[in-house]
Amino acid sequence: MHSEVPVKTILAGVLQIAYLEHGPTDGPVAVLLHGFPYDVHAYDAVAEQLAQAGCRCITPYLRGYGPTRFIDATTPRSGEQAALGADLLALLDALKIPRAVLAGYDWGGRAACVVAALRPERVIGLVSGDPGYNIQDIAAANTPASPETERRLWYQYYLHGDRGHAGLTANRDAFCRLLWQQWSPSWSFSEATYQASAESFANPDFVEVVVHSYRHRFGLVEGDPRYRKIEQALAQRPPISVPSVLLSGADDGVSSRRSDSAAVRGFSGPVRRQVLAGVGHNVPQEAPAAFAEAVLSLLPG
């Protein structure tokens, strides 16, 4: 590990979740959730800034990443949105955290949105990257988008077949590096920066969880039955009522361009959006000060 902060682990739901913890143990809690294909190092600078401001920061490795492991070998290696939300809620319960600011982007933003929508009493506020309301509409997933949007999603369609599964297995480093480059075209990340996160992709469940995620969201495979009720609730497109800040990278190479009015759709509570110039998809690592400021703006007082 490249962080000086020791990795902790805790049993939570179906996982032994590995996580980093920064800041005072009695401070207001912010849970910082990474996306695909990234890891906890996306939040190194954010967590440091929040800790200095008195926050307790919990940054978990998602299922299929880094040292996080499934407890039971027979548990389906699901990457569905309900599983990510259930993992987050299990982590809050295991750490005995009654309420927290949930902040994430990509897969991590989806986990945060799932909990914010279904369990708002556990959420002080939400910071979400594009697309803002990051809950999948699986029933409408096979409705064609614009050709430009479809082009951006090439990697998802690639992973629908055996060729993509084999390609990710054989070339996970080059595959993920290419996505970093395409999704953040104005971010000149170093080799050391990439390798710090790429270590997490060696997780033995990485390929299966990733492939399942990109197949399930298109209705191509079944989910884990234990999450069926959560998926049914998400299919109703529940609104997010907690105070929310949406952070969009102006140079994001994967998320579709959208207006402010479209970006805040799905939110019934206080919500504001900020578009960050010169920033791509990996918002916390590319613009840590703006991300930390968004988290702090949701804390009382």
**Mean pLDDT within 247-258:** 93
**Does residue 299 have a pLDDT over 70?**
yes
Output Rg (C-alpha) for the chain, integer angstroms.
18
pTM of the model: 0.97
Burial 21-57 (b: 16+ CB within 10 A, else e): bbbeeebbbbbbbbbbbbbbbbbbbbbbbbbebebbb
Cα 161 to Cα 154: distance, rounded to the nearest angstrom:
12
The encoded tokens of residue 282 equal 């990996």
Cα 184 to Cα 272: distance, rounded to the nearest angstrom:
23
Cα 79 to Cα 62: distance, rounded to the nearest angstrom:
10
Burial 97-129 (b: 16+ CB within 10 A, else e): eeebbbbbbbbbbbbbbbbbbbebebbbbbbbb
Is the link from the previous residue into 243 a cis peptide, with omega within 30 of 0? Answer: no
pLDDT single digits (tens) 218-239 = 999 999 999 999 999 999 999 9
Which overall architecture, per CATH, does domain 8-297 show? 3-Layer(aba) Sandwich (3.40)
**Does residue 2 have a pLDDT over 90?**
no
252 Cβ neighbours under 8 A, 6+ residues apart = 130, 183, 184, 279, 280, 281
Domain limits, the chain: 8-297
DSSP string, 79-113: --HHHHHHHHHHHHHHTT-S-EEEEE-HHHHHHHH
The encoded tokens of residue 229 equal 């009720």
The encoded tokens of residue 15 equal 């996982």
Length of the chain: 301
pLDDT single digits (tens) 164-211 = 999 999 999 999 999 999 999 999 999 999 999 999 999 999 999 999
